[in-house]
């Protein structure tokens, strides 16, 4: 049950960061995609760790 929640958390965090970058910078670059990937991975690992 933890894995689907971790995937959902990663997707939500990645989407929020991507939307913020598009608003802030007017688009995305490779650095933004890299940051989104790292943030999503971190969110998934935190959710798996704290999920119980």
By the 8 A CB rule, do 14 and 51 touch?
no
Q: What is the tens place of the pLDDT at every residue in 11-29?
A: 999 999 999 999 999 999 9
Q: Which residues contact 7 (CB under 8 A, 6 or more apart)?
A: 44
* Closest by Cα among 34, 15, 13 to 23: 15
pLDDT greater than 70 at residue 52: no
Q: Is the dihedral of CA 2, 3, 4, 8 positive or negative?
A: positive
Average pLDDT, integer, range 33-41:
97
DSSP percent split of the chain into helix, strand, coil, nearest 5? 85, 0, 15
């Amino acid at each position: 049950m933890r894995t689907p929640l971790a995937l959902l958390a990663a997707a939500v965090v990645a989407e929020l960061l991507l939307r913020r970058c598009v608003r802030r910078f007017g688009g995305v670059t490779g650095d933004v995609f890299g940051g989104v990937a790292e943030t999503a991975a971190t969110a998934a690992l935190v959710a798996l760790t704290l999920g119980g």
